[in-house]
Structure 1
Amino acid sequence: MTGIVRGAQLARLLGHWHALPGRRRSPDYAALAGTIRGLLADGRLPLGVRLPAERELAEALKVSRTTVTAGYRELRETGHLTSRRGAGSWTALPGGHRVASSGLWTPTTDLDMIDLGCAALAAPAELVPAARAAADELPRYLSDAGYHPTGIIELREAVARSYTGRGLPTSPEQIMITSGTQHALDLVLRLAVPAGAGVLVESPTYPNALAALSARRARITTHGLDGAEGWDAELLLAGLRQTRPRLAYLIPEFQNPTGHLMPAELRERVVAAAHASGTDLVVDESFVDLPLDGTPLPPPTAVYDRHSRVVSIGGMSKPYWGGLRIGWVRASAPLVQRLAALRVGVDMASPVLDQLVAVHLLAAAETIVPARQAQLAAQRDALLAAVREVLPEWRVTVPRGGVTLWAELDGPISSALARAAEDVGVRLAPGPRFGIDGTLERFLRLPFTLPAADLTDAVQRIAAVRYDLDRAGRRQWREPAVIA
C-alpha cells in the first residue's frame, strides 16, 4: 500500500516556501515545485508517496489551485512526479534513479588516511585486563562443547540487569547474545521479514541496516527526519497506519547518523501505532550508553510495549570496542527461543571467550562509560569548532549524544566531496549512503570518534578541496570503503 501525504502535512513540511532564495525572480508555482524537489533531495519527503490532490494542497497553502496545478506540472516535467488521471500523483526521481544501499567496504592499509567513514572508538585501556581475567575463567567452560545459542548465563544476566536498571524489568531468558548488533538485526529480519514484506525505516539511517534489508528483499518505505527537529510525529504515525509494514526499524537513542533523541511521548505513541497496524518494532539501542553533557534519557521504548511488539537490539561496539563482536537481542522469552532455533543454521553460538571478556567490561561500566562520554564530548566540541571556523556555510545541529554530526552542506556535493577528499587522505561517508533513493546529497556524516587533532586536520583538508570542487575535472569512480 502506498503512503499518502495530506495537504496539511505537506504544507507543514514546505514551511516558508515563499521565502526561498531567488523568490522574487520566480513565480509561485516555480517556488512551490522547487521546495518540493528540495524535500525529496533531502529525504524528508519519501519517494513513492501520493501527494495531496491539487485542491486540497491549494486550500492548505491558501493559494490558487492554478498555482498548485502549475507546480505539479513542473514536477512532472522534471521527473519528480508521476501521475495517473483519476488516481493521483506520486513522488519520484528523474529516470526512476535509485541507489543500492550496500554496506560493503574495501579495507585500507594507508596509515596516513584519516577515516571518517567508521563511527567507532578505539579499545579502552580496560580491555586487556578484562581479556586476561576472561582467559583465567575459561577452563571451567572447557569440559563441554562450548555451544550456547542464547549465550552464557553470566553475560545474559549482566545484560538483563542493565535493562532492569534503565526501568525495563528483564530476565536472562529474554536475552540472546549475538555476534554483534548487526548479527542481532540479521537474525530478527530472518525470522520476521519474508521476501517482499514491507519495512519502514528512517531516512537517513544506518547503511548496514539497509544492506541487511536489501538482502531480505524487503519493500522499504522511509520516514524523513528533519535536520534540526528529528521525527515528525504526525507523519511517522501516519506512515505506520497507512503502509502497515511488517516491521519498522528505528534508532531512538542518538539516531545514526543525525544524533537525534526521540522523546518519551513519541515512543509511547509509536508503540501504540505499531500494535494497531500489526507492525513489529526493532529498536536499535547501539548508542544508548553515550549521552553527552548530562542529557537525561527517556525510558526504553520497550517500556511501553504490552503486546510483545518491540524487539530491542544493542551491543558492545560503540561504548566499548567494535573488535569485540558481542551484541544482544532483548525480546519476549518465546521469541528468544525462536531466534535461537533459527540461529543454529547460521553460526551456532558466539565465542565463549569473547562473552567472558564482555562480562568483565560490563562489570567495569561505571568506570569505562563515563570516560568514553567525556572523551566523546571533547572530540565533538573540537570537531564543531573546526567546522564552524573553516566551513561556516555548513549547518550542523549539536548532538546531545552518540558519536556523529550530521552536516548540511552548502550544496548537493556530498558524493563529489567524498571523492575529492580521498585524494587528500580523508575518507568520508557521503549522505546518499544513508538513504535508498539517491537523495541526501546535501548532507555528510562526520563522526567524532578520532582524536581531536585528527578531526581538526581532517576538516582543514576537506575545506581545502571543497573550495576547488566546482572547478575540478571529472574524477575516476572508486569502490566505497566501510561505513560503521
Structure 2
Amino acid sequence: MTPLVRGSQLARLLGQWHALPGRRRSPDYLALAGAVRGLLADGRLALGVRLPAERELAEALGVSRTTVTAAYRELRGTGHLNSRRGAGSWTMLPDGHRVASSGLWTPEDDLDMLDLSCAALAAPVQLQAAARAAAEDLPRYLGGAGYHPTGIVELREAVARTYDERGLPTSPEQIMVTSGTQHAFDLVLRLALPPGGRVLVESPTYPNALAALSARRARITTHGLAANGTGWDAELLLGSLRQTRPQLAYLIPEFQNPTGHLMPEQLRERVVATAHAVGTDLVVDESFVDLALDGITVPPPVAAFDRHSRVISIGGMSKPYWGGLRIGWIRASAPQVQRLAAARVGVDMAGPVLDQLLAVRLLADAEAIVAVRRAQLSVQRQALLGALAEMLPGWRVTVPHGGVTLWAELDGPVSSALARAAEEVGVRLAPGPRFGLDGTLERFLRLPFTLPAADLVDAVRRIAEVRYDLDRTSRPQWSMPAVIA
C-alpha cells in the first residue's frame, strides 16, 4: 500500500515555509515548491509518498488552491512529483538520481566525494589473506545443503568466546549469525514487537534503526541525550521506562551512535532491573564495543545484569572490520535463538557460508586487527578535532573515548542547509535531523573520523568555506546536481 501524507502532516513538516529568508522575492507557489524539495533533500519527506490532494493541502496551509496547484505543477516540472489524473501525486526524484546515505539526492554517476555520511572504515590489510584461507576451509561444507539458519557452528563458537572474554558466559546455542547488525535488529523486531507496538529509543539515535521501527509502524517515544557529559540522564531514562512501559527499548550503550557516549556500569544494571519490572525487552546494539580509545575500560555488557532473558544483544563486524563483510549476530537465550531462526526462514533462510568462514578467520586475528584500528582512529580523531578547532571554532564537540563519530553542536540551526551546500563542494554529510524523529537537531551534525587524516582536514576546510557562505547568502538556493556523462 502506498504511504500517504495528510495535509496536516505535510503542513507540520513544512513549518514556517512562508517566512523563509527571501520569501517575499518569490511567488507563493515557488516558495511552497522549494520547501517541499527541501524536505526531500534532507530526507524528512520520503520518496514514493502520495501527497495530499490540492484542496486538502490548501486548507491545511491556509492558502488558495491555485497556489498549491501551481506548486505541484512546478514540482512535476522539476521531476520531484509524478501525478496521474484521478489517482494522486507521488514524490520522486529527477531521472538518473537517487538518495544517498546522507539523505541527499545525487547523480547515479557520483562525483569523487569526501563521504562523511558513512561511519565505517575501509577493509583491514588482513582481509585478503583471511579470504584465501576461508576459501581453503570451504570444501568441508560443500557436501551439505549449505543452509545454517543460526550460522555455522565455528562462527557461533567464535562469537560466544568474545562474550566470554568480556565476562559474560555464553554458549554457541545463544548465538545466531545474521547478515549484518541491521538484519539482526529486523529479526528481533519480527519476534519481539507486534505492529504498532510501543518502543523507547534514544534521541539522537541510529537512523536505520528508526527506519526499521517505522516499517513495523512502531509508536516511538524518545529519551533525549545530552550533548556533553555521560549523555544519559539516569532518572529521566528510568522514568521514561516506568511511565511509557514500552514493549521494547533500543539502546546503544557503547560509544553511542552518533554522540559517542559510554553508558556507566551502574546505569546498565538499573536499566535492566527497571526493564524487568515494567515488562520491557531491551535490544542492546553493541556495534562499537571493540573500538574503545584512550585506554579506557568498557563496563560489563548490559546482558551481564540480566537474569530474566530481557536483554537481546546485537552486534557485528561492520565497524571494527569491514562493512562489506555482512556478518552480524544476536546473543539471546537459547529458546529465543530458536524462535529467531524460525522467523528468519521467511526472510533469507541462512547466510553465506564462505562469508562466515572469513569472519572466523578475522576473529581469530582480532587482537592484532582491532589494535591497529584503535591506533588509526585515535590519529584520525585528533586530526578532525584539530581541524574543527582551527577552522570552525564556534562549534562545540565533546571528545568521545571510543567509537568512530563526533557529535558536533553547530553555531546555528543550519545542519540541513550546510549538508546541501557541502554536497556542492564535494563533501557528503549526515545532517542532525537524520538522527531524530521530528526534524529537530538542526544544531547538530555527525562527523565520523573514519577517513584518512588528510581527507578529514580537507573536508573541514570545505565545510568551513560553505558555512561562512551560508551567512552571506540572502536566500536558500536549490541547485540541480550535475549529471556526469
Query: Which band: TM-score by shorter chain?
Result: 0.7 to 0.9
**After the TM superposition, which residues 131-146 of structure 1 pair with which residues of structure 2 at under 5 Å, given as runs?**
131-146=131-146
Aligned to 2:400: 399
Residues 123, 102 of structure 1: alpha-carbon distance in 2 compared, 3 angstrom cutoff? closer
1:55-91: CA deviation from partner (whole Å, max 9, x where unpaired): xxxxxxxxxxxxxxxxxxxxxxxxxxxxxxxxxxxxx
Distance, in Å, in 1 between the alignment partners of 2:480 and 2:411 is: 24
Instruction: Determine the C-alpha separation between the residues in 1 that align with 2:283 and 2:417.
Output: 33
Cα distance, 1:471 vs. partner?
A: 2.7
Deviation at 1:111, TM superposition (A): 4.9
Partner secondary structure for residue 468 of structure 1:
helix
Question: What is the match of residue 124 of structure 1?
Answer: 124
Q: Does 1:165 align with 2:165?
A: yes
1:102–1:208 contact (8 Å) kept in structure 2: no
C-alpha contact (below 8 Å) 2:102/2:117 kept by paired residues: no
Per-residue deviation, residues 219-248 of structure 1 (Å, max 9, x unmatched):
000000000020000000000000000000
- Rounded Cα–Cα distance in structure 2 between residues aligned with 1:265 and 1:232: 12
1:367-404 CA deviation, whole Å, 9 max, x = no partner?
10000000000000000000000000000000000000
Equivalent residue number for residue 288 of structure 1: 289
How big is the alpha-carbon RMSD for the aligned residues of Structure 1 and Structure 2? 1.6
Is the alpha carbon distance of 1:151 and 1:395 closer, same or farther for their aligned partners in structure 2, counting shifts above 3 Å?
A: same
Which residue number corresponds to residue 474 of structure 1? 476
Q: CA deviation at 1:195?
A: 1.1
Number of aligned residue pairs: 379
Query: 1:475 Cα shift?
Result: 2.3
Distance 1:127 1:283 in 2: 28
- C-alpha change, 1:104 and 1:414, in structure 2 (3 Å) is closer
The answer (yes or no) to whether the contact 1:383–1:448 under 8 Å persists in 2 is: yes
Match of 1:184 in 2: 184
TM-superposed CA distance for 1:478, in Å, is 7.8
**Structure 2 letter corresponding to 1:404:** T
Alpha-carbon distance, 1:293 to partner: 0.9
Report Cα offsets for 1:273-322 as digits up to 9, x if no partner. Answer: 10011000000000000000101110000000000000000000000000
In 1, Cα distance between the equivalents of 2:449 and 2:376?
10
Q: Is the 8 A contact 2:309 2:333 kept in 1?
A: yes
How big is each residue's C-alpha offset from its partner over 1:410-429, in whole Å with a ceiling of 9 and x where there is no partner? 01000000000001000000
Report the Cα distance in structure 1 between the residues aligned to 2:477 and 2:188, rounded to whole angstroms: 40
The correspondence of residues 48-127 of structure 1 with structure 2, limited to 5 A, is 109-127=109-127
Aligned equivalent of 1:40: none
Report runs of 4+ in structure 1 exceeding 6 Å deviation. Answer: 101-104
Q: Is the contact made by 1:253 and 1:262 (CA closer than 8 Å) also made in structure 2?
A: yes
Deviation at 1:477, TM superposition (A): 7.4
Q: Which piece of structure 1 moves more, 135-144 or 105-114?
A: 105-114
**Structure 1 residue aligned with 2:16:** none
**CA distance 1:109–1:368, change in 2 (3 Å):** farther
Alpha-carbon displacement from aligned partner over 1:6-65 (angstroms, at most 9, x marks no partner): xxxxxxxxxxxxxxxxxxxxxxxxxxxxxxxxxxxxxxxxxxxxxxxxxxxxxxxxxxxx
Contact 1:417/1:469, CA 8 A, preserved across alignment:
yes
CA shift, 1:196, in A, is: 1.1
8 Å contact 1:102–1:207 — kept in the other structure?
A: no
Q: How does 1:381-400 map to 2 (within 5 A)?
A: 381-400=382-401
1:231 alignment partner in structure 2: 232
C-alpha deviation, 1:143, in angstroms: 0.6
Alignment of 1:27-426 (within 5 A): 109-229=109-229, 230-426=231-427
Shift of 1:470: 2.3
Q: Residue type matched to 1:156 in 2? A: R
What whole-Å deviation, never above 9, does each CA across 1:155-187 have from its counterpart, x for those lacking one? 000000000110000000000000000000000
Q: Using the aligned pairs only, state the percent identity.
A: 78
* SS in structure 2 of the partner of residue 283 of structure 1: strand
Find the aligned partners of 1:193 and 1:478 in 2 and give their Cα distance.
41
Q: Is the contact between residue 149 and residue 344 of structure 2 (CA under 8 Å) also seen in structure 1?
A: yes
Q: CA deviation at 1:109?
A: 4.2
State how far apart, in whole Å, the 1-side matches of 2:100 and 2:294 are.
34
C-alpha separation in 1, matches of 2:436 and 2:355: 33
Which 5+ residue runs of structure 1 have no aligned equivalent? 1-100, 480-484
* 1:450 partner letter: L
Quickly say closer, same or farther: Cα 1:189–1:320, change in 2 above 3 A: same
> SS at 2:381's partner residue?
helix
Aligned counterparts of 1:111 and 1:441: Cα–Cα separation in 2 = 26
Q: Is the contact made by 2:255 and 2:403 (CA closer than 8 Å) also made in structure 1?
A: yes
Which residue number corresponds to residue 8 of structure 1?
A: none
Letter in 1 for 2:430: A
What does residue 90 of structure 1 align with?
none
| 8 Å contact kept, 1:102–1:211 | no
Amino acid at match of 2:246: P
- Offset at residue 112 of structure 1 (A): 2.3
Aligned to 2:82: none
Q: Distance in 2 between matches of 1:478 and 1:439?
A: 25
Q: Distance in 2 between matches of 1:217 and 1:102?
A: 24
**What is the TM-score normalised by the length of structure 1?**
0.77
User: Relative to 1, partners in 2 of residues 1:451 and 1:360: Cα closer, same or farther, differing over 3 Å?
Assistant: same
2:455 alignment counterpart: 454
Look up the equivalent residue of 2:115 and give its one-letter code.
Answer: D
Deviation at 1:446, TM superposition (A): 0.1
Q: Residues of 2 paired with 1:260 and 1:152: CA distance?
A: 34
Question: Is residue 103–residue 207 contact of structure 1 (8 Å, CA) maintained in 2?
Answer: no
What is the identity, as a one-letter code, of the residue corresponding to 1:414?
Answer: S
What TM-score do the two structures reach when normalised by structure 2? 0.77
